[in-house]
Amino acid sequence: MAKGMRDIKRQIKSTQNSKQITKAMEMVAASKLRRAQDSAEAARPYAEKMKEVVASIASGTKGIKHPMLMTREIKKTGYLIITSDRGLAGGYNANLLRMVVNMIKTKHKSADEYAIYVLGRKGRDFLRKRKFQIASEVIGIADTPVFADIKAIANEAVSNFENGSFDELYVVYNEFVNVMTQIPVSKRLLPLEDIQSTDHTPSASYEYEPSAEEVLAVLLPKYAETMIYSALMDAKAGEFGARMTAMGSASKNADQLISSYTLQYNRARQAAITQEISEIVAGANA
């Protein structure tokens, strides 16, 4: 009985230590979530203004042609997948990667029909383990990322679409809704079909040097890369929200376990005391 009580006390202590860790991780994730949300909101005006300028040039110039604005026959598809480097975030990565695998297996018959670009160690390891070929990867992205962290891979993905290596580009990530909800989404980034249809009326007439076509040729890749960065910021907010929720649930589960173990300990202690009293009484009667 004493041994059993010692085991229960050890379990209570171990669970209390785990709870301290999960509670600390929950608080850290909460602070990082706030910063990630602020960064995502700060980056949004730039992306919207970039879209406005590009739409103005594209809609205001007749007969303009650019590979990023033209739809072509789909022979190969590019996927830029955004995951996290670390786990302990509930189903944040698992749900997204499950969707990616199902999407690729449904749409493609061979590996020649798609190219994969990955941000995040979890996505890289998951896809490698399942023998998917990865064209390029970036891991170790900071909790507060800057555009320089993903510039190379974003430029590579956009350039490969522009030069015809593949015919459409999807960005796949967890869209942040709120702290409790992150939705895996797949959005077609290229070609930019809706950019010319944007309702934008220029407030003034502009002259472009050297020409509107050449200005647009510079701005369109930058706009696509900005959209990738915006998706990364959204995914980071979702990651911290998922980790905060997961660690909060772990702390609650730890409380329930501690209560359960404490009840077991008290019962065992009461049984031990009752047994001792019974032995004393029996000895006295003898």
In this prediction, residue 60 carries a pLDDT of 66
11: pLDDT strictly greater than 70? yes
pLDDT tens track for 103-138: 999 999 999 999 999 999 999 999 999 999 999 999
pLDDT tens track for 264-276: 999 988 888 888 8
In this prediction, residue 192 carries a pLDDT of 83
The Cα–Cα gap between 269 and 1 comes to: 8
Q: How confident is the model at residue 1 (pLDDT cuts 50, 70, 90)?
A: low
184: pLDDT strictly greater than 90? yes
pLDDT tens track for 208-267: 777 778 888 888 899 999 999 999 999 999 999 999 999 999 999 999 999 999 999 999
pLDDT tens track for 78-109: 999 999 999 999 999 999 999 999 999 999 99
- What is the DSSP secondary structure assignment for residue 168, as one 8-state letter? E
pLDDT tens track for 141-183: 999 999 999 999 999 999 999 999 999 999 999 999 888 899 9
Question: Percent helix, strand and coil across the chain, each rounded to 5?
Answer: 65, 15, 25
In this prediction, residue 46 carries a pLDDT of 84
pLDDT tens track for 187-215: 999 988 766 555 555 555 667 777 778 88
In this prediction, residue 216 carries a pLDDT of 84
In this prediction, residue 109 carries a pLDDT of 92
In this prediction, residue 58 carries a pLDDT of 74
Q: Among residues of the chain, what percentage have pLDDT more than 70?
A: 92
Omega cis (within 30) before 210: yes
What domains sit in the chain, N to C, each tagged with a CATH number? 2-23+246-285 (1.10.287.80), 27-243 (3.40.1380.10)
In this prediction, residue 198 carries a pLDDT of 53
Q: Please answer whether residues 121 and 139 qualify as being in contact, where contact means their C-beta atoms are separated by less than 8 angstroms.
A: yes
Listed residue (156, 157, 150, 152) closest to 171, CA to CA? 157
Longest dimension (CA), the chain: 113
The Cα–Cα gap between 231 and 21 comes to: 30
In this prediction, residue 18 carries a pLDDT of 94
The Cα–Cα gap between 84 and 173 comes to: 10
Q: How confident is the model at residue 62 (pLDDT cuts 50, 70, 90)?
A: low
Q: In what order do the strands lie in the sheet with 136-138?
A: 136-138, 114-119, 77-82, 168-178, 181-190
In this prediction, residue 52 carries a pLDDT of 81
